[in-house]
Amino acid sequence: MSIAVLYEHPEWFQPLFEELERRQLPFIRLHAGELTWSAAEQPNFSLLVNRMSPSAYLRGNAHAIHATAAFLGYVESYGVSVVNDLQTYRIETSKSAQLDLFERVRAPYPATRVINHPEKALTAVQGLRFPIVVKPNLGGSGAGVTWFNTLEDLSRAVHTNQLDFGLDRTALVQEGITSPDKSITRVELIDGEPLYAIRITPPAGHGFNLCPADICQEPSDAASAIAPGQSLGNFCPTKPTMAIEHINIHDGMRDVVTTIARAAGLDVCGVEYIVDERDGQPYVYDVNALSNFVTNAHEILDFDPFVRLVDFIELRWKTAIDSKQVLVASLSS
């Protein structure tokens, strides 16, 4: 029985495919936008690696987002092991669910309100400190995220219908925080353990997409202005001039990020936080179940994170096979 990799972006996971091929592990590629399955037929693989991104709608694959949830439910109904299962996918596709997770594990996060109508933004900001960020609940690549310095700016956007609530018409109204150098910290984790941490410092006026992957490009500032359903093709809109450096996790944050990953059952994820220049405290603001590993990994990290990822996948695959063999043996005895 093989490994199945569920993916959507054709370039993001080429290093993963290459490492699987290098080890001669049996695997198949399943494009999330081109799925076919029957509830009456058992999956033909023993492990599914879920690498689906909610930013798929930026590339004309919005239909794949909800179909993936249904497909994961089908796969799990047959007892097939899944890396980043349906539970974690629901967290990946809902920033509101991420807030619930942060609250449950008592992780520090910016004060936030969730709304489902643009006019509610004006009441939701009461008691929050400006600047304010409005972001779609289901999104990715920074699309639709808008920064407001004043109530007047926000009011103008509301009354001119400029707020983007994304595919599920739900949005977060959140206190905007920045670090002294405008950087963010991203910690990548595998199996609940930190793999590495990087500091990402964008150039002035960059926007909100800080994806560090090799393939990420910047065709324009379209990501921050894209309309729901509009496609950017295979672009992952990130400027190549971002400064990225390997760092140690800030004091106290190792426990925070590992607790988040373990509580959510996230097998592979990236957790992002910012050290607020106002009080010097770190605040978690995003969880990415689909983790794009850092560009130029050998130069920045001195190791290849895809090797570590495939180490984990191979172990899970062998465990799944062993478990099935034990089950078959017990049923036949």
Over residues 231-257, the mean pLDDT reads: 74
What's the CA gap between 221 and 244, in Å, rounded?
Answer: 20
For the chain, what is the mean pLDDT? 87
Over residues 249-272, the mean pLDDT reads: 96
DSSP string, 194-257: EEEEEEEEPPTT--S-----TT-B-SSSHHHHPPTT---TT--B--TT-EEEEEPPPTTHHHHH
Over residues 59-72, the mean pLDDT reads: 92
Q: Which amino acid is at 207?
A: G
CATH number at 2-83+308-332: 3.40.50
| Angstrom distances, CA of residue 88 to CA of 111, 209, 218 | 23, 22, 29
User: What integer pLDDT is reported at residue 52 of this predicted model?
Assistant: 92
**pLDDT bracket for residue 330 (50, 70, 90):** low
In 3D space, the residue among 139, 140, 135, 138 whose CA is nearest the CA of residue 124 turns out to be 135
> Tens digits of per-residue pLDDT, 103-146?
999 999 999 999 999 999 999 999 999 999 999 999 776 778 99
Over residues 172-192, the mean pLDDT reads: 95
Higher pLDDT, residue 1 or 29: 29
User: What integer pLDDT is reported at residue 291 of this predicted model?
Assistant: 72
| Angstrom distances, CA of residue 212 to CA of 25, 45, 87, 324 | 27, 31, 25, 38
Residue 315 has pLDDT above 90, yes or no: yes
The DSSP output letter for 9 is -
Whether the Cβ atoms of residue 169 and residue 251 lie closer than 8 Å to each other: no
Higher pLDDT, residue 202 or 146: 146
Residue 92 has pLDDT above 60, yes or no: yes
Residue 255 has pLDDT above 70, yes or no: yes
112-175: CATH class: alpha beta
User: What integer pLDDT is reported at residue 214 of this predicted model?
Assistant: 40
The reply to whether omega before 131 is within 30° of 0 (cis) is yes
In 3D space, the residue among 1, 71, 3 whose CA is nearest the CA of residue 316 turns out to be 3
What's the CA gap between 156 and 141, in Å, rounded?
Answer: 25
Per the listing, tokens 């926000």 go with: 154
For domain 96-107+178-304, say whether CATH 3.40.50.920 is its number: no
Residue 222 has pLDDT above 50, yes or no: no
Over residues 25-54, the mean pLDDT reads: 96
Residue 60 has pLDDT above 90, yes or no: no
Domain with CATH 3.30.470.20 in the chain: 96-107+178-304
How many CB atoms neighbour CB 77 within 10 A?
12
**pLDDT bracket for residue 179 (50, 70, 90):** very high
Domain with CATH 3.30.1490.20 in the chain: 112-175
Q: Burial of 30 by CB count in 10 Å (0-12 exposed, 13-18 middle, 19+ buried)?
A: buried
What's the CA gap between 310 and 15, in Å, rounded?
Answer: 10
Of 36-50, 202-216, 306-320, the poorest mean pLDDT is in 202-216
Higher pLDDT, residue 262 or 231: 262
Of 1-10, 19-28, 151-160, 273-282, the poorest mean pLDDT is in 1-10
User: What integer pLDDT is reported at residue 224 of this predicted model?
Assistant: 40
What's the CA gap between 207 and 21, in Å, rounded?
Answer: 36
Higher pLDDT, residue 216 or 91: 91
Taking every pair of Cα atoms in the chain, the longest distance, rounded to a whole number of angstroms, is: 73
Whether the Cβ atoms of residue 313 and residue 81 lie closer than 8 Å to each other: no
Whether the Cβ atoms of residue 182 and residue 274 lie closer than 8 Å to each other: no
**pLDDT bracket for residue 242 (50, 70, 90):** confident
Residue 270 has pLDDT above 90, yes or no: yes
Whether the Cβ atoms of residue 236 and residue 211 lie closer than 8 Å to each other: yes
User: What integer pLDDT is reported at residue 29 of this predicted model?
Assistant: 97
Domain with CATH 3.40.50 in the chain: 2-83+308-332
Q: Which long-range contacts link 89-93 to residues 24+ away (Cβ below 8 Å)?
A: 89/50, 89/52, 89/289, 91/264, 91/266, 91/287, 91/289, 92/54, 92/287, 92/288, 92/289, 92/290, 93/54, 93/65, 93/69, 93/138
What's the CA gap between 281 and 178, in Å, rounded?
Answer: 11
User: What integer pLDDT is reported at residue 215 of this predicted model?
Assistant: 37
> Tens digits of per-residue pLDDT, 2-12?
999 999 987 88
